[in-house]
Amino acid sequence: MQNHTILITGANGEIGHGLIAHLSQQRGTKIVAMDLQSLDPSLQRLCDRTYTGDILDSGLLQTLSTGHDFDTIYHLAALLSTRSERQPTLAHRVNVDGTLNLLEIAVTQSRQQGRVVKFIYPSSIAVYGLPDTATKAKAGRVAESAWCQPRTMYGINKLYCEQLGLYYSSHYRQLDADTPKGMVDFRGLRFPGLISATTLPSGGTSDFAPEMLHYAAQGKPYPCFAREDTRIPFMAMPDAITALLTLQDAPRARLSRQVYNVTSFSPSAKEIYERVVESFPRAKVSFEPDRKRQAILDSWPQDTDDSAARKDWGWKPAYDMEKAFSKYLIPAVSQRRAT
Ligand SMILES: NC(=O)c1ccc[n+]([C@@H]2O[C@H](COP(=O)([O-])OP(=O)(O)OC[C@H]3O[C@@H](n4cnc5c(N)ncnc54)[C@H](O)[C@@H]3O)[C@@H](O)[C@H]2O)c1
């Protein structure tokens, strides 16, 4: 079987953990992983090479690019929404300049190898911005082209990087006489909040859902920073990994767009609490909304329309809310608690 070399940035994060576990099971796939933090030892043995360093370090990126021939780049490294709001200039550097650096690597690689390099980019529902809760309720399931007026640095960074990806795919150096088109095959997914059974998020604004669950499993009281009626979409981590891998494999001709919504279930914070209590009856959750983080949640859609992904490349989540809790989250967090 032909070897397929994949670069994963931000490999030590929540998505990186799930993605590496899956990709390492594919025969013929070589994983090159990099992250600012040294990679979790359980992941290191699944990778061919690991690098610890910054996506803003051009020397490191050059080492990566000269040392490997990448077929696909999963660019996961980022500062998430809450952290980005606290350090907006750093967020801009990491999220935008970092992505630009990786897109340049993709171009260099495709020239070196004389073939298309795929660039898979996890975007977010943070690209949307609804002005108030009444508009949010009325908007319902938001399509990719609607309400792209983000109010956070993170959302702005993500929306702009989607556009950068489209530029590198179709218009890169368009005035040059001999620039071949389509050398970077950019594909983006706008994820909702992700809930993993094995890792705890940090620095995101959708973190209240996974935190509620993990605190309950650990028997710790949880002051929830969201109002009970807060409703945004979520997805179980295995579905997020499936979405990334399925989009990566989809034939280009089947894709009517380059950035897709994907979603699964859309409970209120209270409904999440009720489901957590069903499994952990002693869970102590108090709703103590943080006015400023709440305003960000209120600007995100209550649901997204992922019909384009369903139609073009057969996207379908395996986990609805009940199955996510009963078959994935509760068994795994309970087992972790027991060990
Ligand atoms: N988790 C979610 O709910 C969610 C939702 C939508 C989109 N996303 C996107 O998916 C991607 C991965 O998210 P995640 O949940 O794994 O986040 P995470 O915070 O768990 O992981 C991000 C990783 O990036 C690394 N990193 C940060 N700055 C870096 C730098 N300068 N150089 C190298 N590495 C750096 C961090 O060390 C971390 O390991 C991000 O782009 C995020 O915006 C996540």
Which residues does the chain have with pLDDT short of 70? Answer: 1-2, 181-182, 339
Task: Compute, in angstroms, the gap from residue 281 CA to the centroid of ligand 1.
Answer: 32
Looking at residue 151, its pLDDT comes to: 96
Indicate whether residue 205 lines ligand 1 (CB < 6 A).
no
CA distances 255 to 40, 164, 223, Å, are 35, 18, 43
Mean pLDDT (the chain, rounded): 96
Indicate whether residue 210 lines ligand 1 (CB < 6 A).
no
Indicate whether residue 56 lines ligand 1 (CB < 6 A).
yes
The tens digit of pLDDT for each residue in 20-50 reads 999 999 999 999 999 999 999 999 999 999 9
Q: What proportions of the chain, in percent to the nearest 5, are helix, strand and coil? A: 45, 15, 35
Indicate whether residue 211 lines ligand 1 (CB < 6 A).
no
Task: Compute, in angstroms, the gap from residue 51 CA to the centroid of ligand 1.
Answer: 16
Measured from the Cα of 81, ligand 1's closest atom is 43
Indicate whether residue 78 lines ligand 1 (CB < 6 A).
yes
Nearest CA to ligand 1 atom 39: 13
Name residue, tokens 């914070």.
Answer: 269
Nearest CA to ligand 1 atom 1: 194
Percent of the chain's residues with pLDDT above 70: 98
The tens digit of pLDDT for each residue in 296-339 reads 999 999 999 999 999 999 999 999 999 999 999 999 998 877 76
Indicate whether residue 60 lines ligand 1 (CB < 6 A).
no
Nearest CA to ligand 1 atom 32: 54
Indicate whether residue 201 lines ligand 1 (CB < 6 A).
yes
Question: What DSSP character marks residue 126?
Answer: G
Tell me which long-range contacts 133-140 makes (C-beta under 8 A, separation of at least 24): 133/298, 136/298, 136/299, 136/300, 136/301, 136/302, 137/302, 139/301, 139/302, 140/302, 140/303
Task: Compute, in angstroms, the gap from residue 200 CA to the centroid of ligand 1.
Answer: 12
Nearest CA to ligand 1 atom 17: 13
Nearest CA to ligand 1 atom 38: 13
Looking at residue 182, its pLDDT comes to: 65
Q: How far apart are CA 150 and CA 153, in angstroms?
A: 8
Which regions of the chain does DSSP assign to beta strands (E)? 4-9, 29-35, 49-52, 72-75, 117-124, 141-142, 184-191, 193-195, 222-224, 234-236, 259-261, 285-287, 303-304
Indicate whether residue 55 lines ligand 1 (CB < 6 A).
yes
**CB atoms inside a 10 Å sphere around CB 3:** 11
Question: What DSSP character marks residue 252?
Answer: G
Measured from the Cα of 207, ligand 1's closest atom is 3
Q: How far apart are CA 107 and CA 171, in angstroms?
A: 12
Q: How far apart are CA 111 and CA 132, in angstroms?
A: 47
